Amino acid sequence: MILVTGGCGYIGSHTCLALLRAGEEVAALDNYSNSKPEALVRVQKLANRPFPFEEADLRDETALRRVFEQHQIHAVIHFAGLKAVGESVQKPLEYYDNNVAGTVTLCRVMRDFGCKRMVFSSSATVYGSGNPSPLTEDMPTGQVTNPYGRTKYMLEEILKDICAADPEFSAVLLRYFNPVGADESGQIGEDPRDIPNNLMPYISQVAVGRLSRLAVFGNDYDTPDGTGIRDYIHVSDLASGHVKAVEYANRQTGARIINLGTGRGTSVLELVAAFERANGVKVPYAISPRRPGDVDVCYANADKARRILGWTAQMSVDDMCRDSWHWQSQNPEGYR
């Protein structure tokens, strides 16, 4: 059985669905600090298969042990963590405690139960601002500018150390680019608690009338239209990447770092135009000052994922816009 920590969250819920559809046995664990159990109720309906999900906090070792005692877990896909960059600057201790200490506790329990396979959610943020795109996995990391990014960098290093100490341990460290979109059913999707920080949920909430207009953070970057370029990847493609990654973790040992991106960059204004075109809606926007900490261009070299996992992203930017809108327009208040 595969344990999915943070399984109720945005990427976790889509990955549970992909695993169930691939015929895997799945258990999910979440403390619901940034999600609602309704997401997993919907995943069960979509997959037409019940599966166990437990309310537990990563840092609660007793609760974790109970989960490992109840289920025969051979691999963990580890999404659970806090992810808001700005909040991490205000609350560094919460981020180090939740993300770093929580993962250390999880690894200790895995060791005690002889579970030696992990797929970990890292982020393209570990590349910092010093590396040119397309970003390759062998580029230097560690020059991150905020506590959230530092937790990802530290956890990559910790997992490499665990692999070095135990030759049977297998860790696949996935560096995600910018996950967007939703399952094509429109039943599950991204449900930010407050005003969104990220571009696609902001655009969707403007389009649905929850927010009045998008602030485009800077049009004086060194890019063709002056706005920032990112590698947006459909969350269902990302989820299928995890199905491949956990299969790969079963076949190999040691630490492997793999980008999950499309290898293509899209600017803010291109994404707005694609969203309007794909959905026949208007997205009013105004140019605002740059957001501190943003880089001009960030996209993946996606060759390693193709070579090692046999995985490439299939869905276009228009698919991402259509599915984000499908979710948002059917669920204007998210899971509430």
Length reported for the chain: 336
294 near ligand UD1, judged by CB under 6 A:
yes
- In angstroms, the CA 286 to CA 275 distance is 16
Q: How far is CA 83 from CA 11, 33, 192, 198, 335, in A?
A: 12, 12, 11, 11, 19
Q: Which is nearer to ligand NAD, 81 or 134 (CB)?
A: 81
134 near ligand NAD, judged by CB under 6 A:
no
With CB under 5 to 8 Å by kind, the binding choice for 248 among ligand UD1, ligand NAD, none is none
- The contacts of residue 157 (CB under 8 Å, 6+ apart) are none
Residues 148, 153, 176, 248: which is the catalytic one?
148
Taking the complex as a whole, the smallest distance from the CB of residue 304 to ligand UD1 amounts, in Å, to 19
For 323, other C-beta atoms within 10 Å of its C-beta total 23
- The contacts of residue 86 (CB under 8 Å, 6+ apart) are 197
Using the rule CB under 6 A, which residue among 71, 110, 116, 121 binds ligand NAD?
A: 121
51 near ligand NAD, judged by CB under 6 A:
no
φ and ψ of 201, to 5 deg: -65, -30
Using the rule CB under 6 A, which residue among 37, 52, 186, 293 binds ligand UD1?
A: 293
Whether 148 is a known active-site residue: answer yes
Q: How far is CA 176 from CA 79, 92, 135, 179, 235, in A?
A: 12, 22, 12, 7, 10
- Using CB under 6 A, count the residues that bind ligand NAD: 27
205 near ligand NAD, judged by CB under 6 A:
no
With CB under 5 to 8 Å by kind, the binding choice for 149 among ligand UD1, ligand NAD, none is ligand UD1
Interface pattern 175-194 for ligand NAD (x via CB under 6 A): -x-xx---------------
Q: How far is CA 85 from CA 72, 230, 232, in A?
A: 35, 16, 18
12 near ligand NAD, judged by CB under 6 A:
yes
Contact, 171 vs 118, CB < 8 A? yes
Using the rule CB under 6 A, which residue among 105, 185, 197, 301 binds ligand UD1?
A: 197
Using the rule CB under 6 A, which residue among 85, 155, 182, 249 binds ligand UD1?
A: 85
User: Based on the number of CB atoms within 10 Å of its own CB, is 307 exposed (0-12), middle (13-18) or buried (19 or more)?
Assistant: exposed
CA angle 74, 75, 76 (to 5 degrees): 140
Taking the complex as a whole, the smallest distance from the CB of residue 139 to ligand UD1 amounts, in Å, to 16
- Using CB under 6 A, count the residues that bind ligand UD1: 21
265 near ligand NAD, judged by CB under 6 A:
no
Residues in region 30-49 near ligand NAD by CB under 6 A: 30-35
Q: Which is nearer to ligand UD1, 120 or 202 (CB)?
A: 202
Residues in region 91-110 near ligand NAD by CB under 6 A: 98, 102
Selection from 101, 6, 118 nearest residue 54 by Cα: 6
- The contacts of residue 29 (CB under 8 Å, 6+ apart) are 3, 4, 5, 6, 7, 53, 54, 56, 58, 64, 67, 80
230 near ligand UD1, judged by CB under 6 A:
yes
Round the CA-based radius of gyration of the chain to a whole number and report it: 19
Using the rule CB under 6 A, which residue among 108, 193, 213, 291 binds ligand UD1?
A: 291
Using Cβ positions, the residue closest to ligand NAD within the complex turns out to be 9
- Please give the positions annotated as active site: 148
Binding interface with ligand NAD (CB under 6 A): 6, 8-12, 30-35, 57-59, 79-83, 98, 102, 121, 123, 176, 178-179
Binding interface with ligand UD1 (CB under 6 A): 83, 85, 123, 125, 149, 178, 197-199, 202, 214-217, 228, 230, 268, 291, 293-294, 298
